[in-house]
Structure 1
């Protein structure tokens, strides 16, 4: 049989550069084909997209990556019939904008670079302005022979388009969640309020119908409402949609947007682009502040609810939830267990507090793996924990408590030398079905008395409160 030749796969290290080249080629071709004949593009998002890609994938931001981007841009221009000289010079202008934005933003800490702070948003506006200045200046110096306009008009046209497009496009790329964040449990369950979005759509419609220079500011109130309601990524998408809609409406003279020509070369579209770009600054900054406040409140709520060492409920959170559980019991049985790690002080004294913390963490993890939804598990303090099991009668709870005790006993705590083994003593109390529920303090007190007996009778055992012995 003839032996088929082996096909070697493309080395994985070559794939990112090939993807970068292909992405640049596709974006540039799309931008060229969408450009009016013999005119600058109404939108040229290629530079902003590539700057965002390099900021999100720093490994490709090297001389080789920039060279690939430039070659792909020139190749796309030549493929569309451009002469080689304008293709070389125009794309140097584009590369200058990309490199400038990347250079300024890449030096910021990641929290600013991903626009999670107002400072990062302001820095982005500055970087976009610097990139637009570089591109416009290079265009005037190197590409002037191909323009019929004056140098001032050429500079303003390049600057206004580059600045406005970068300000609208880059925030979307920098705030976009990673694929891992999108697949995280709970990420798809977040609800989106429709009212701010509907108001924004209505305000955009009113802007176009009403017209005039002041109409570009009509959506600002709705965008601010969106900034208070949505994530920075969604606000960035809405700002891009709103800004693009207004720019197209001005370019098509749908808004009757006229300005006095006080400066030679200043056109209606240039003025509109710059005004719209600056209008989105406020909503983007507010979205960052609002998102930071929501994250802070979530962290504070988590710290107030969850014990930082073990991941169990804190004492205060347990008391609130246990009271609510007792209030809504509706004559169903309920069991409360008090658990105490045996000889925990000796563990701390002999092995140190770091090992003691490790014991607490593994003990809590072991118990949480044994529990079900709706069952409360909390750390009351030190090595003392409590579990509440709704629906389980206390006289039938010994099997459950024994299962928990054996799970703890079977654990081995890894440490230098001989693995450490721990045991737990458990006191069980509760209330039977169709009986008046005692208070939480009474349940804790009776379970604590049972726990005291378990320790007095040798530890590593389960004891039930008086009158709640196991029914066999």
Structure 2
């Protein structure tokens, strides 16, 4: 038994490092096999993926983790027939890119790092540029022995590839929601027009060709950025950017640049141009998402009472008037009942036990009634300890039984405070209209129900009274 106790925690600590080693080896092997013979990789996502993984799972971002990353890259390179000296050095260049970008972005606040602000997008671009410079500079040191290209050409080739791949791949990993968040949000419908326009613009770019063609999808990407969340936008920028890079590399777009600068090739120019093009859509996506979040919070604050979680007075007024207007438009109008509820002796509770306990009473009271009500029934806090309920489809005579059920549920509620259990009660007044009869206005319903509520309080509280009938429900 003691042996098992020692072994199992060791395995649990080692497993993430084994997973990191296997992931790096698989990504590196795939990147090597996909690149052209005796050439740098056309698209090398290994470094950006590893940065994203280490930022999302920082426990493995230590000396052992980075050593395993480098070892896995070297092993994959040697397995594919590379000489051991280039394998050691050039994978050290890749490690330099990974470590630099990770080091810079790990200092950025998590909110920005997860691509939820324009500052985060700019930070990712700056970090990728710095990491690409480190990798290109290290690679250029060995340009003469292992490359036929000049030092400048080697530096530009490494920088353009590392930078463009980083800004295309890394935002996807950083903005990706967790599995729990995706399950909680569920499947959501995606508006197709922006996506279809983007695909069409990509096809048109390839068909039209020329240096300016890489900018054709920018309008569609901006539309997508205004419509979709940042994660989906980053997926689309990755798709668009990689498609254009492959099209340029395969000479499908007849893209060319003047050779005024030695070592500058068509692919280098295209990579850098495409990388900069995706900056705008990603920033717009973050701004748009921030605006949507702000509007949602403001709408929530205007609709939901912050203390009790029920509708606010203004939200209730809007929905109740809409419900009454809808009822008037139907030939066979359904019955409807409005109830006013007031917690008995609430001021005495506040005076005796303090406002904190009073707030607790309000929260538990609201939660108790919410558990008793059904979907489609409106429940709101009118102010202080006064609440209102609308029961569509229920006539006042039958709603009296519902009101009595609510009264008993509140009476059975006990609020625990220190060594005391506070018992609260509620008085209820109701009014409404039967089926196929014109409904009074909301103000009239509220006034009549309020009169019935005062009658309930005058007759001893903890009871239900109906407007006009003025009789207790037993």
Q: TM-score, normalised by structure 1?
A: 0.95
**Corresponding position of 2:275:** 277
Partner of 2:402: 400
Show the 5 A alignment for 1:403-422. Answer: 403-422=405-424
- Where 1:309 maps in the other structure, the secondary structure is coil
C-alpha distance in 2 between matches for 1:231 and 1:76: 36
CA shift, 1:462, in A, is 1.5
Partner of 1:463: 465
Residue 109 of structure 1: aligned partner: 109
Quote how far apart the aligned CAs of 1:469 are: 5.9
Q: Partners of 2:205 and 2:73 in 1: how far apart?
A: 36
Does the aligned pair in 2 maintain the 1:312–1:364 contact within 8 Å?
yes
Is the deviation greater in 73-82 or in 211-220? Answer: 73-82
Q: Contact 2:463–2:472 at 8 Å: present in 1 too?
A: no
Whether the aligned pair in 2 keeps the contact of 1:89 and 1:143 (CA below 8 Å) is: no
The one of 357, 360, 370 equivalent to 2:359 is 357
Q: Distance in 1 between matches of 2:206 and 2:130?
A: 31
Q: What is the Cα deviation at residue 416 of structure 1?
A: 2.2
Residue number in structure 1 paired with 2:383: 381
Shift of 1:54: 1.1
State the match for 2:244 in structure 1: 246
Deviation at 1:355, TM superposition (A): 1.5
Q: How far is the alpha carbon of 1:471 from its aligned partner?
A: 9.5
Task: State the distance in 1 between where 2:351 and 2:21 align.
Answer: 62
Distance 1:222 1:233 in 2: 16
| Compared CA separation, residues 79 and 385, structure 1 to 2 (3 A) | same
Any idea what the Cα deviations from partners look like across 1:329-377, whole Å, max 9, x if unmatched? 2421111111111111112112211121121111111111111110000
Of 193, 202, 218, the residue aligned with 2:216 is 218
Question: How do 1:142-291 and structure 2 match up within 5 A?
Answer: 142=142, 144-185=144-185, 187-188=186-187, 190-291=188-289
> How big is the shift at 1:295?
1.0
Distance 2:419 2:235 in 1: 56
1:277-356 alignment to 2 at 5 Å? Answer: 277-329=275-327, 330=330, 331-356=333-358
Could you say what secondary structure the match of 2:391 adopts? strand
Deviates more, 1:269-278 or 1:400-409: 400-409
Note closer, same or farther for the CA distance 1:418–1:470 as it changes in structure 2 (3 Å cut): closer
Q: CA-to-partner distance for each residue in 1:108-156, whole Å, 9 max, x for gaps?
A: 1111101111111111110010000000011112565221211111100
CA shift for structure 1 position 452: 1.1
SS at match of 1:115: coil
C-alpha distance in structure 2 between counterparts of 1:142 and 1:148, whole Å: 11
Kindly state the Cα deviation for residue 27 of structure 1 after the two structures are TM-superposed.
Answer: 0.8
Is the 8 Å Cα contact of residues 395 and 469 (structure 1) preserved in structure 2?
A: no
**2:74 is matched with which residue?**
74
After superposition, the Cα gap between the structure-2 partners of 1:374 and 1:462, relative to the gap in structure 1 and judged at 3 Å, is: same
Instruction: Give the distance between the partners of 1:207 and 1:397, measured in 2 at CA.
Output: 66
Q: CA deviation at 1:464?
A: 1.5
- Report how far residue 158 of structure 1 moved: 0.3
Give the Cα–Cα distance (whole angstroms) in 1 for the partners of residues 289 and 4 of structure 2. Answer: 53
- The equivalences for 1:436-455 within 5 A come to 436-455=438-457
Q: Work out whether residues 118 and 289 of structure 1, in 8 Å CA contact, stay in contact via their aligned partners in 2.
A: yes
Stretch moving more, 326-335 or 125-134: 326-335
Cα displacement (A) at 1:455: 1.6
**Secondary structure of the residue that 2:440 maps to in structure 1?**
coil
Counterparts of 1:240 and 1:130, CA distance in 2: 20
Q: Tell me the SS of whatever aligns to 1:259.
A: coil
- Partner Cα separation in structure 2 for residue 12 and residue 411 of structure 1: 47
- Residues 49/351 of structure 1: CA separation in 2 closer, same or farther (3 Å cut): same
SS of the counterpart of 2:262? Answer: coil
Structure-2 residue corresponding to 1:28: 28
State the shift of 1:444 in Å.
0.8
- For residues 469 and 208 of structure 2, the distance between their equivalents in structure 1, rounded to whole angstroms, comes to 80
Q: What's the TM-score once normalised by structure 2's chain length?
A: 0.95
Unpaired segments of 5 or more residues in structure 1? none
Quick one: structure 1 residues 143 and 259, their matched pair in 2 at CA, closer, same or farther if it must change by over 3 Å? Answer: closer
| Residue 210 (structure 1) shift | 1.0
Between the aligned partners of 1:207 and 1:237, the Cα distance in structure 2 is 19
* Secondary structure, aligned partner of 1:414: strand
Distance 1:468 1:244, change over 3 A: farther
In 2, are the aligned partners of 1:48 and 1:165 still within 8 Å (CA)?
yes
Q: Across the two proteins, how many residue pairs are aligned to each other?
A: 466
8 Å contact from structure 2 (residues 100, 127) kept in 1? yes
Deviations 1:9-53 (A, max 9, x none): 573333222221211111111111112221110010000001011
Give structure 2 stretches of 5+ with no counterpart.
none
